[in-house]
Chain A
Amino acid sequence: MYRTTQNLQKDNELADFADRLLNDGMEQDASSSNVELISLEKTILNLKETFPPKKLDEDKARRMLAQVKLRARQEKEPVKQSFFQRLFDFQSNPQVGLLAAVAAVVILVIVGLPSVGTSGEALSGAALSDASYVPALGILVVLFILYWISRRK
């Protein structure tokens, strides 16, 4: 009980000190008789002295307001993007990203399948002919180049 009362007293004393300092600017030094409170009052004085009151002049405030409005307007305007940038903007168009991924998988599967002979039977174990690679690789290269160009712009 005594401890609680003592704490309440310290709380009030420190708050009063802050009020006298901030409201009236009366306190120039720690004034408590309590050792703990003296050190806390010094911390408050330090805080007050380190951040003396500072007012923005009206010109600066107006300049800042003009910049705020300009930046807000600029950030509202949509950024002009090229066709390829829009096409490969996977974050905005996840469907396109998904489609590209599926297309890549399909191409890889086609490339990976054993080539079909003229008789219509798959020749298992036979090496792929150069001809079967060319279109699939071509598509992959074109897709990669388009993606690379869109990222560079």
Chain B
Amino acid sequence: MQINSNPLPDTSDELLIQQFKDGRQDTFDVLYHRYLPKVYNRVRYVVPESDVEDVTQEVFIAALKSLPSFRGDSKFGTWLRTLTNHKVAEFYRKRSRKQEPQITMLSEAQAQVDGETSTMMEDRMFLQHTLQGLPENYREVLLLRFAEDMQFNEIADHLNQNLEAVKSLFRRAVTALRNNLDK
């Protein structure tokens, strides 16, 4: 059974939110299962593995608390994406306040638990750190394509741009990522 199993597959986000506001708390479960894979994947690309679940939960806690005041000016998915980006930024802000190192070194033993070598984990952390350091529009187009598996035409719709502009933005984003990784 997949995690995005949806008891009300045809119900729109807008209707679910309206029902939630009318007191049907269980409609949040549907929204949660619908968007969990996207939020989880997006967080996984920019936050260390050990903190992914915590940050994902923070996103949904904030969503649950703010949903009654959701006005619907933007789509729920867009609103949740913005909330996710805020929570990721907050995670890094809190971490820098604690003066923890940007890249946490993990012990070989801990790395082996997940069947990964410490080198693989370090590579991933370095890539996450580099992604997080990219300009927002570059990071966004990469996350939409890789983490959320959106097609280029869907990204164009989402960003209100034409397909050529999005493909051009994608190439510039990959170039910036390569240059920063090579530094």
Contact = CB atoms under 8 A, between A and B. Distances in A.
A3 interface: no
B21 interface: no
Interface residues on A, range: 35 or more
A88 to B, nearest CB: 25
A64 B32 CA distance: 10
Given A11-B164, A14-B170, A39 B178 contact: yes
B3 A51 contact: no
Q: Is the interface of B mostly helix, strand, loop or mixed?
A: helix
A3 to B, nearest CB: 13
Contact of B177 (A7, A47, A48): A47
B116 to A, nearest CB: 11
A47 B45 CA distance: 9
Interface in A52-88: 54-58, 60-61, 64-65, 67-69, 71-72, 75-76
Given A51-B45, A55-B3, A58-B1, A11 B168 contact: yes
A141 interface: no
Contacts of A67: 57
Interface in A127-143: none
20 contacts: A7-B168, A22-B149, A39-B178, A40-B171, A40-B174, A46-B127, A46-B181, A50-B123, A51-B45, A54-B41, A58-B1, A58-B3, A60-B53, A61-B3, A64-B36, A64-B57, A64-B60, A68-B60, A75-B65, A76-B65
